[in-house]
Amino acid sequence: INPILNIDDENDTSTTSSKNIQPLVGIIMGSDSDLPTMKACAEVLKSFDVPFELSIVSAHRTPMRMVEYAKTAHVRGLKVIIAGAGGAAHLPGMVAALTPLLVIGVPVKGKSLDGVDSLYSIAQMPRGVPVATVAINNSTNAGLLAVRHLGAFMPSYLQKMQEFTERQESEVLAKVDKLDQ
């Protein structure tokens, strides 16, 4: 597998957020045009210190690469895959069909149909092949779901998620206080 993109520096062809550290999350997307949407989940994972890899894997344009990626993901130590795609967004579903890992799907809004096509393509999976689907373009929530998944068996991430939700609550309550003044 040759991951292609590094979110920090597009000229840097390194593959993971933290070099030489086993990635726990695989972020894949159907096209580099999905990257602006998918960057947010990479930022979330970075903020939680979750090692991840990020790459382009297209169900339609690189089907054999998709099969290889999905079949080897758990063997390579990944614990969850986040897959973003737009239009006829078959990537998350096909990956879910090929891996025993949790797959989180991000419907990417394309040029037409407001992303509803992507949402339906990803959410409407047949019984037996689930994809955990987030809202259109909401790759932030995909990142947070991945951290919650890791937290179930890695206590440090559980702790960080608790801190995150507490911080988020405090921030909202501070705004409430400000409005009430």
Binding site for ligand RP5 (CB under 6 A): 29-31, 33-34, 58, 60, 85-87, 108, 110
Q: Output the six-digit token pair for 176.
A: 């409430």
Nearer to ligand RP5, 107 or 147 (CB): 107
Nearer to ligand RP5, 56 or 150 (CB): 56
Please give the torsion angle defined by the CA atoms of residues 35, 41, 47 and 52, in that order, rounded to the nearest 10 degrees. -80
d(CA 35, CA 159): 29
CB of 11 to ligand RP5, least distance (A): 20
Residues in Cβ contact with 66 at an 8 Å cutoff, skipping those fewer than 6 apart: 57, 58, 59, 91, 94, 95, 98
Asked if residue 131 lies in contact with residue 122, where contact means CB atoms within 8 angstroms, the answer is yes
Nearest Cα to 102, choosing from 133, 69, 137, 139? Answer: 133
CB of 61 to ligand RP5, least distance (A): 7
Nearer to ligand RP5, 14 or 62 (CB): 62
CB of 87 to ligand RP5, least distance (A): 5
Q: Output the six-digit token pair for 177.
A: 């206080």
Asked if residue 88 lies in contact with residue 61, where contact means CB atoms within 8 angstroms, the answer is no
CB of 131 to ligand RP5, least distance (A): 14
Nearer to ligand RP5, 131 or 150 (CB): 131
CB of 60 to ligand RP5, least distance (A): 6
Nearer to ligand RP5, 24 or 108 (CB): 108
